[in-house]
Amino acid sequence: MKNTIIIPAYKEQEGLPVVLEKVYKIIDDSYEVIVVDDGSTDKTAERASSFPCKLIKRGQNHGKGGAMKAGVKEAQGENVIFTDADNTYPVEAIPDIAKFLEHFDMVVASRVKGRENIPRLNRIGNFIFRCLLRHLHGCKVKDPLTGLYGLKKAQFEQMQLNSKGFTVETEIAIKAARMKLEIAEFPIEYSPRLGKQKLGRIKHGWQILKMILREKFGGR
């Protein structure tokens, strides 16, 4: 098994089946697909069960970072590729990520087109976080908080991530820069989400800011 696609999902009964249908149209036997249902109370798990993916059901909602780590723990692939379950990212780009991972440690799909589908406050926050990550941590990626990216499973495990929630991409970006991973980046188009937004703009934005500062200056 060369590549494992990991889809963390929390109350994504609308978007998840659309994402999985697209995924299974483009992958071959070198891929496995793992859906991590992070304590959903809707039909997320039921939707996943109608596809030939591996389903991990967590009894309670512990957050995106925890769901991702649970998926990686079960992954058989040399590479792990993450995408969100809300149909905002073009999963058709996954084979390109897999090809890049033959030559790079990490591959990032940057949201260049369709940025109008990102709420304005989120776009402002992403700009601020990108600048802070670049100047404080040397992260040169243009879209470090994207939800579509891949890296070597061994590198992911080496990061020993602490994030349980939406700070996980921030921590990955910081540790990838610290580990001096070779990173490739290519543009994608971001689409409107299916289902309800889970990211709290103020709450999670504050958590991301604290993560960036704590990893640089210490403290809590």
Q: State pLDDT tens for residues 118-164.
A: 989 999 999 999 999 999 999 999 999 999 999 999 999 999 999 99
Residues composing the chain: 220
Confidence of residue 168 (pLDDT cuts 50, 70, 90): very high
Average pLDDT in the 56-71 region? 95
State the average pLDDT for the chain: 95
Q: What are the beta bridge partners of residue 187?
A: 110
Q: Report the candidate in 86, 93, 122 with the shortest Cα–Cα distance to residue 107.
A: 93
5/219: higher pLDDT: 5
pLDDT of residue 199 exceeding 70: no
Confidence of residue 200 (pLDDT cuts 50, 70, 90): low
Confidence of residue 218 (pLDDT cuts 50, 70, 90): confident
All structural domains of the chain: 3-217 (3.90.550.10)
pTM for the whole structure: 0.95
State what percent of residues in the chain have pLDDT above 90. 90
Q: State pLDDT tens for residues 11-41.
A: 999 999 999 999 999 999 999 999 999 999 9
From residue 131, alpha-carbon distances to 58, 97, 145 in Å are 35, 25, 12
Those residues whose C-beta lies under 8 Å from the C-beta of residue 137, and which sit 6 or more positions away, are: 173, 174, 177, 178, 212, 215, 216
Three-state DSSP at 58 gives strand
pLDDT of residue 112 exceeding 80: yes
pLDDT of residue 219 exceeding 60: no
